[in-house]
Amino acid sequence: MNVTKNYFAQLKIQKIIPIINSKNFHHDVKKIESIITNYKDIKLIEITLRESESYQNAIKLVEYFPKIKFGLGSILKLETYNTIDKQKFNFFVSPSTIKEIVIKKPINYIPGAETISEFNYLYNLGYKVIKFFPATLNDGCKKLKAIETIYKDLYFIPTGGISRKNMNDFLDLNNVICVGMTNV
């Protein structure tokens, strides 16, 4: 499995993986403080690498919140993955299938996929947890429901367009371990 049993179990418990699109450290601190105050089960949080200051903010957030296990998201290429400090972060997420990374099979790396062909490619490499992105396009719930009986031990983290209004539609599926949300 690409995700350790402990992280898999934690994702199932917390049901939501907050995604922080880091732009401002102080704003991020306030948002994370609100999340951990309102959601006691949240122990894993993803910080995206979308802005020039995101990585440095993420390092400071790891130091500021030592009890939270942070992951880095929006990893778009092998060079980015190779330059990040794997000791500071607990998991890594891409919005797509980056072949140069997935063939290395790194621990606690969650590749993204949207198509059945991508799911199958990752499944055949041994991946069991996949970020399903963008989840709400093209009837994402219907797609995941349709493949539940085909890929019985493949699990998804739907992300992209997930809200309080539709999150339970995804969480009710047997092959969804949690949802990723920016608007927690």
pLDDT digits (tens, 9 = 90+) for 129-161: 999 999 998 789 999 999 999 999 999 999 999
CATH of the domain at 26: 3.20.20.70
At 5, give phi and psi (nearest 5°). -60, -35
**Averaged pLDDT for residues 5-18:** 97
**In this predicted structure, what is the pLDDT of residue 138?**
73
Residue 105, sorted as left (phi over 0), alpha (psi -120 to 50) or beta, turns out to be left
Q: Concatenate the DSSP letters of all residues of 112-165 into one string.
A: EE-SHHHHHHHHHTT--EEEE-STTTT-HHHHHHHHTTTSTT-EEEEBSS--TT
- Confidence check: pLDDT of 174 > 90: yes
Average pLDDT (167-176) is 98
Mean pLDDT for the chain overall: 96
CA 103 to chain centre: 19
CA distance 10 to 5: 9
Q: What's the total number of domains in the chain?
A: 1
Using pLDDT thresholds of 50, 70 and 90, give the confidence band for residue 48: very high
- Going by the DSSP 8-state scheme, the letter that residue 176 receives in this structure is B
Both structure tokens of 127:
């991946």
The CB density around residue 152, as the number of other CB atoms within 10 Å, is 9
Mean pLDDT to the nearest integer, 33-56: 97
Question: What stretch of H or E contains 146?
Answer: helix 140-147
Q: Give the residue numbers spanning the domain of 177.
A: 5-181
Tell me the CA end-to-end span of the chain in Å, nearest whole number. Answer: 28
pLDDT at 1: 86
Q: pTM for this structure?
A: 0.96
Work out the average pLDDT over 69-77.
97
C-beta of residue 125 within 8 angstroms of C-beta of residue 105? yes
